[in-house]
Amino acid sequence: QLQTKHSHRRQKVLVVANRLPTKPKRDADGNWTFERCSGGLVSCLAGIRAKFDMVWLGWPGADFNDVEKDIVANEAMKQGCYPVFLRQNLIDEYYNGFANNVLWPLFHYIMPPFDKGVNECSTGQWEAYRKANEIFTEAILSVYEDDDYVWIHDYHLMLVPKFLREAKPDCNIGWFLHTPFPSAEIYRTLPWRQEIIESLLHANLLGFHVYDYLRHFLSSCVQLTSLEISAHSVDATSIGGCIVTCATVPIGISPDEFLTGLQKPEVKQQIEQLHEQYAGRKVILGIDRLDYMKGIPHKLMSFGRFLENHPDWADKCVLVQLAVPSRRDVPEYQRLQRQVHELVGDSAEVRRQISGKHSSIATGVPVIYMDSSMSPDDLSALYNVADVALITSLRDGMNLVSYEYIACQHGKTVPGVLILSEFAGAAQSLGAGSIRVNPWHLQDTAHAIYEALMMGSEEREALHDYAFKYVSEHTAQKWAETFLQCLQEACSDLMEVTSQ
Ligand code: F6P
């Protein structure tokens, strides 16, 4: 439990993320539902809410009128949440625009097209990003009490540390990045690089999934500031910040939730049904958000290559690909959906390459594609029956699907094999428990599929044991506790420095 400087009350952790963990919706009859959102952060923090006094501040996912706002706010408060309402035009410019059309691609190493400079098209979006970050800061200030810990998440809210420090100089501020932090050579192209980096340096602690991201951040600090920088800290006192600690705190999952889920009779039944459905065929599973960084087209083409190389496998395996719709208002995501639909069925050429050429009347097409989300129980059953999980992210902060797959394979006589992109943060933790691939090299992935399908049980077990040990030791709860512990230490170090 976190200790408070003032003994009269229990300290709160204010979790500040772009999205609330609950999604309010009103049906045609006017009835409200508040569904739990999907996504890594939601599952990670859900497990630790019992342990800490926590208030979660975030956007409730849509624009609401004043009457609706009251209903949403009341229900959210019951769930320990505080909604930050944003108008539709701000959502378009800040969330769909600057956050997901400028920062998201750049942080994943995608530069703006050269005929459409980011500078030219995004100034209004930058202003909206600033505005949204101000609105989030005001929301924090309305629930903040002295000594609370403020834990800001992700690339959406990088201006909050400075706004908050200016309003509350003693505030305990931590920020965690869920995406990669790109190489300084990429980051430096961002026209607003200075404002963003200087704002982050107003936090006490900056957390990253893997050491490379931390290193890239520090290189950017070296190149863009004249501050004193060491291996794990930056002295930002001269710009109104503090001695900022930078730490690697890799996220995890709650494997017990999956292991318990697998024991439910309805999940066991679902597993049996899936075994019947795919009898005689090995299941290769892909589960991703429908995001261009997940490399879904590369995966489909690699699977096509595998079938070209090994036509005898065409009626002995199936690729089940679940693509969970995401950020549907961003044009790049709409383009991706069209591309993937073409790849799995509509385009004559690719149908020939992937589905048509290798399908037979007896077994059907070798790719089963769904773009929808799935309940946690159905997901666990699917993870469990899969003989191979195929993760081909072109760049990925961590990738918790790989962890979930490992958890759901546990206890099987012959565990499945994880094929994992070397460009996912998870490759640094699960690399030795998987077959690592370069997803850009279609033949490499095609070969890995073959290798995984042919792998003997001893080698499968060895890979699984390694990966499962890691997943069960580095849990979501441990991640959150470690981050909060580091934050507390970073803040007490600051007190020592300032009291000397
Ligand atoms: O990985 C970054 C992230 O922002 C996660 O925190 C989130 O779960 C996921 O992407 C989906 O994001 P969005 O809120 O845009 O749907």
Tens of pLDDT, residues 318-345: 999 999 999 999 999 999 999 999 888 7
Q: Which atom of ligand 1 has the smallest separation from the CA of 326?
A: 16
Q: What's residue 457's pLDDT?
A: 97
pLDDT of 213 > 60? The answer is yes
Q: What's residue 32's pLDDT?
A: 86
What's the pTM value of the predicted model, to 2 decimals? 0.93
Cα–Cα distances (Å) from 364 to 136, 186, 304, 444, in that order, read: 51, 45, 15, 26
pLDDT band at 12 (very low <50, low <70, confident <90, very high): confident
Cα–Cα distances (Å) from 451 to 129, 223, 294, 365, in that order, read: 46, 44, 22, 22
Instruction: Tell me which residue has its CA closest to atom 14 in ligand 1.
Output: 19
Cβ(209) – ligand 1 distance below 6 Å: no
Could you give the percent of the chain with pLDDT greater than 90? 76
pLDDT digits (tens, 9 = 90+) for 227-282: 999 999 999 999 999 999 999 999 999 999 999 999 999 999 999 999 999 999 99
Cβ(182) – ligand 1 distance below 6 Å: no
Q: What's residue 80's pLDDT?
A: 87
For residues 329, 332, 338, 342, the Cα torsion angle rounded to the nearest 10 degrees is -160
Residue 116 structure tokens: 């459409």
Q: Which atom of ligand 1 has the smallest separation from the CA of 19?
A: 14
DSSP structural state of residue 37:
P
pLDDT band at 162 (very low <50, low <70, confident <90, very high): very high
Q: What's residue 348's pLDDT?
A: 43
Residue 41 structure tokens: 């952060």
pLDDT of 202 > 80? The answer is yes
Q: What's residue 33's pLDDT?
A: 83
Q: 152 with 175: CB under 8 angstroms?
A: yes
Cβ(43) – ligand 1 distance below 6 Å: no
Q: 139 with 17: CB under 8 angstroms?
A: no
Strand partners, 22: 36
Cβ(40) – ligand 1 distance below 6 Å: yes
pLDDT, the chain, mean: 90
Q: Which atom of ligand 1 has the smallest separation from the CA of 17?
A: 6
Cβ(178) – ligand 1 distance below 6 Å: yes
Cα–Cα distances (Å) from 275 to 17, 24, 372, 499, in that order, read: 39, 36, 21, 65
Q: Which atom of ligand 1 has the smallest separation from the CA of 289?
A: 11
Q: What's residue 40's pLDDT?
A: 63
pLDDT digits (tens, 9 = 90+) for 341-366: 988 875 444 445 555 555 554 445 68
Q: What's residue 1's pLDDT?
A: 45
CA of 39 to the centre of ligand 1 (A): 6
Cβ(19) – ligand 1 distance below 6 Å: yes
